[in-house]
């Protein structure tokens, strides 16, 4: 483990035990302050990726770019940087690595000068045949500069025989298998595309006469833009000086939107697929209380993602809701030498028990998920050390038993606690008095469905069921392992 990784563990003691958000995209066309608005939009989408950020703009003649490791506020707060990103069109991206390593050359938007002009591409998701296509393209003479699957799209566009850039993009994406929301910028257009299954989110907004394509509605709120609608699965949106055009060039199977967007990924103040994320999470908590009641004195959320579900659980159960865990939002890179003793502090660097509230109480902890189980173990221990007489854990999602290959950085299956143990064994592992998960059908009920239709599920729930709606070409051929080795040595 490198020193930087040690510091990351100290700063982010939970991150190893969460499903990491995919990425965030923000494109705007037709506004004189395009780059500044893109930076604000990325700031609102910071939860989707904290590893790196980038913005590419176009001023009518030239493209401009700034990319850096770290968070948006650390890299796009100066007038000098924003002032250098000239033009009325800008495309931004927050990155959390899913395919490709954590290096500068993998930061999006990826830009290239093609035969028909410059092209910047930013995408959220994962292309499940990227390695297969990459090997084919390299054989045909393509030279790759990064290890991210987004660059595959650039090379496909460059090799397309179509004349117009929109047709080149459509021609290229027809060869792609995977889950994605994609926004690209040329000298004259902004193009947005969503995969035919609609797994990853993409919304359309407008500010004055400028159109916006972004991952979540909260990125529209921060700049005062109007939410227009969700981009439909398989839809292609083209924005240029003439306005907006909508195309549907792909056959669209039944929608399989990622159910984890509602459970954890999306910001609670976003509206996703016509539903308030906050309201959905409260409904999930209420259903969880119906399915798994327990006598207790307090309902305590695991900050911050467990809060709406905990409110719902408390409302349904009639048990008092309280903040029994206080989060330190100002944990930065520690100046303390990362000794074994300091590393052992773990979650205490970010969370602390509210001892005066907890002592002598039976508590219910509500969290969104359990991945490896390491965080849950430490929080249960924290409650006991604070004097809780009983600690019951309730999880606002079914057990996570399978890895995601659609743009979420999930541990390998053999590191998922629910893939290794039954619920009773998991309970013993984390040290709780009881542990319960919402049922799969209960989750669908909370989502507004009568139940899960096993013949045609309404969402992508592969992390719970292993039912992968999109072909896993690279995984099945072993090509994904080759790209992983390339990433590790790059």
Q: What residues are labeled active site?
A: 23
The four Cα atoms 441, 444, 449, 452 give a dihedral, to 10 degrees, of -50
Record the tokens describing residue 408, joined without a space. 């979420």
Residue 368, helix vs strand vs coil: coil
Whether residue 404 is annotated as binding a ligand: the answer is yes
How far CA 440 is from CA of 188, 355, 465, in Å, comes to 46, 35, 9
Residue 119, helix vs strand vs coil: strand
Task: Output the DSSP codes for 155-193.
Answer: HHHHH---SSHHHHHHHHHTT--EEEEEEEE-SS-EEEE
* Distance in angstroms (rounded) separating the CA atoms of residues 424 and 401: 15
* Distance in angstroms (rounded) separating the CA atoms of residues 486 and 100: 9
* Distance in angstroms (rounded) separating the CA atoms of residues 226 and 204: 9
* Distance in angstroms (rounded) separating the CA atoms of residues 323 and 308: 12
Residue 128, helix vs strand vs coil: coil
How far CA 25 is from CA of 18, 30, 69, 165, 178, in Å, comes to 21, 17, 16, 20, 17
Task: Output the DSSP codes for 398-433.
Answer: ----S---SS-B---GGG-HHHHS-HHHHHHHHT-S
What's phi and psi for 45, nearest 5 deg? -100, 15
Whether residue 427 is annotated as binding a ligand: the answer is no
Please report, in angstroms and rounded to a whole number, the separation of the first and last CA atoms in the chain: 17
Query: Is residue 101 exposed (0-12), middle (13-18) or buried (19+ Cβ within 10 Å)?
Result: middle
Whether residue 463 is annotated as binding a ligand: the answer is yes
Q: Where are the alpha helices (DSSP H) in 292-385?
A: 307-317, 340-343, 355-358, 374-385
Residues placed in the known binding site for Mg(2+): 305, 367-368
Residues placed in the known binding site for [4Fe-4S] cluster: 258, 404, 460, 463
Residues placed in the known binding site: 258, 305, 367-368, 404, 460, 463
């Amino acid at each position: 483990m490198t020193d930087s990784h040690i510091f990351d563990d100290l700063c982010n003691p939970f991150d190893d035990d969460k499903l990491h958000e995919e990425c965030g995209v923000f494109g705007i066309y037709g506004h004189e302050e395009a780059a500044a608005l893109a930076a604000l939009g990325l700031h609102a989408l910071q939860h989707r990726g904290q590893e790196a950020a980038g913005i590419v703009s176009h001023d009518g003649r030239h493209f401009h770019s700034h990319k850096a490791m770290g968070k948006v506020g650390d890299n796009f707060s100066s007038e000098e940087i924003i002032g250098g990103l000239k033009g009325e069109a800008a495309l931004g991206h927050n990155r959390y690595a899913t395919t490709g390593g954590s290096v500068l050359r993998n930061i999006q938007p990826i830009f290239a000068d093609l035969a028909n002009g410059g092209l910047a591409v930013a995408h959220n998701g994962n292309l499940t045949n990227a390695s297969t296509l990459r090997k084919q393209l390299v054989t045909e003479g393509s030279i790759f500069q990064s290890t991210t699957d987004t660059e595959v799209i650039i090379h496909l566009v460059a090799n397309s025989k179509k004349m117009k850039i929109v047709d080149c993009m459509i021609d290229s994406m027809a060869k792609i298998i995977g889950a994605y929301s994609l926004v690209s910028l040329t000298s004259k257009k902004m193009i947005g595309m969503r995969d035919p299954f609609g797994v990853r989110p993409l919304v359309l907004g407008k500010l004055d006469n400028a159109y916006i394509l972004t991952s979540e509605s909260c990125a529209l709120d921060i700049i005062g833009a109007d939410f227009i609608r969700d981009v439909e699965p398989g839809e292609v949106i083209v924005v240029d000086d003439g306005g907006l055009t909508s195309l549907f060039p792909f056959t669209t199977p039944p929608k399989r939107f990622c159910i984890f967007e509602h459970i954890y990924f999306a910001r609670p103040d976003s509206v996703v697929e016509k539903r308030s994320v906050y309201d959905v999470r409260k409904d999930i908590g209420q259903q969880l209380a119906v399915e798994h009641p327990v006598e207790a004195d307090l309902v305590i959320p695991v900050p911050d993602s467990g809060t709406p579900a905990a409110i719902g659980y408390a409302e349904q159960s009639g048990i008092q809701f309280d903040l029994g865990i206080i989060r330190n939002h100002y944990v930065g890179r520690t100046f303390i030498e990362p000794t074994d003793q300091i590393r052992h502090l773990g979650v205490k660097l970010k969370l602390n028990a509210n001892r005066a509230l907890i002592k002598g109480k039976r508590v219910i902890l509500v969290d969104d998920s359990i991945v490896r189980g390491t965080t849950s173990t430490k929080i249960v221990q924290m409650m006991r050390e604070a004097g809780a007489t009983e600690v019951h854990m309730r999880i606002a999602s079914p057990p996570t038993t399978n890895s995601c290959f659609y743009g979420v950085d999930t541990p390998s299956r053999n590191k998922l606690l629910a893939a290794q143990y039954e619920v009773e064994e998991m309970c013993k592992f984390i040290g709780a008095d009881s542990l319960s998960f919402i049922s799969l059908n209960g989750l669908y009920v909370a989502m507004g469905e009568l139940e899960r239709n096993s013949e045609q599920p309404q969402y992508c729930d592969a992390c719970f069921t292993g039912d992968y709606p999109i072909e896993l070409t690279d995984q099945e051929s072993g090509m994904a392992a080759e790209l992983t080795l390339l990433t590790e040595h790059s």
